[in-house]
Structure 1
């Protein structure tokens, strides 16, 4: 009985491993694993609890800076990061930016984002600046992330972002030889994420016909 109870406790502790991911002042948390982070009333969400493992996080700088003697709000495009979250709390940070000219220069030359861990370690974050088109291009953050993932063969499964292209394709850096890896299901997922709406529709029709023949 004691052994069974210990096993249940051990399983519960494994399945509930989690960590808090926070953002520093003037950093806005926009989306996690393809889902928009909805503000609570007038207060923006500045931290979320996530399971350990790989997560896709979208943030932007949105802060009060000085333009001469006056204050103004400076907002960047969204930045997307793939963060491997261990079983420890972490915070996405930036250097302190106090003036508009300072902020513009900082982001134009390539912003240095960092992940500050609970144990005192600080890691650099390499992200992608998402590009939108037209008026209100960034109003639908979920659509923007979906488009990026589709173009890059990335899916979010069980809360973890998976780059299917890295899983399914291996390129030899010396010879340039491309080797197809991964199982058939991984291959199907990768090509499905890259397909257009019309191709997906045609594929579903073809799949339904195959299943019933």
Structure 2
């Protein structure tokens, strides 16, 4: 088993505690807070240290399961969690799946991903099943997650996931959309939604403004 320590953890305030986030059997860590989790076939990363607070974690189920008298590899699409990491160790788990038929049936309906805490408590995790396009849709997981975050207005500040749409857009009970937050929050929201070309154009524009 390989354990990963997120670099941003070293710069976190001393008042915040770190916890170990692990994955259960056949659950593979893919991306954490927008960064690819480095693993290898011989040494998969099954746990990492995270500061207490909100983090974005992307995993998938990948296991060798019984299919009649043989075994076959079964892999799901990536599942993304906006996870509130507690101050205690926790593990992302699924029910034990032993056959290919059982696994397919389980993931075809709404699978229940759970977070088991060291204290013995557990809670159900809300998730987004990421959808890729094309044959190599999931070959670059970091890019796929970055595209999702851009569309959703999600960015990362000091190692934490921040939903800028919640911070900057408010919908009243009458259905009216009100823009909230300061100018900086608005800039962050639209910058997070821009593609690389648009960001480059924005940088050129800001340089021109500074030169005036």
**Same fold flag (TM > 0.5):** yes
Deviations 1:5-60 (A, max 9, x none): xxxxxx97515x10000000110011111111111561101000001100000000
Once superposed, which parts of structure 1, at least 4 consecutive aligned residues long, lie more than 4 Å away? none
Partner residue, 2:60: 60
Q: What pairs with 1:1-213 in structure 2 (closer than 5 Å)?
A: 13-15=14-16, 17-40=17-40, 42-172=42-172, 174-213=173-212
CA distance in 2, matches of 1:12, 1:101: 47
Structure 1: runs of 5+ lacking an equivalent: 1-10
Secondary structure, in 3 states, of the residue corresponding to 1:73? strand
TM-score where L is the length of structure 1:
0.90
Secondary structure, in 3 states, of the residue corresponding to 1:119? coil
Larger radius of gyration: 1
Secondary structure, in 3 states, of the residue corresponding to 2:60? strand
Structure 2: runs of 5+ lacking an equivalent: 1-11
CA distance in 2, matches of 1:122, 1:167: 29
- Aligned CA-pair RMSD: 1.6
Partner residue, 1:6: none
Give the paired residue count: 201
| Residues 21-30 or 34-43, more deviating | 34-43
Q: CA deviation at 1:106?
A: 0.9
Secondary structure, in 3 states, of the residue corresponding to 1:14? coil
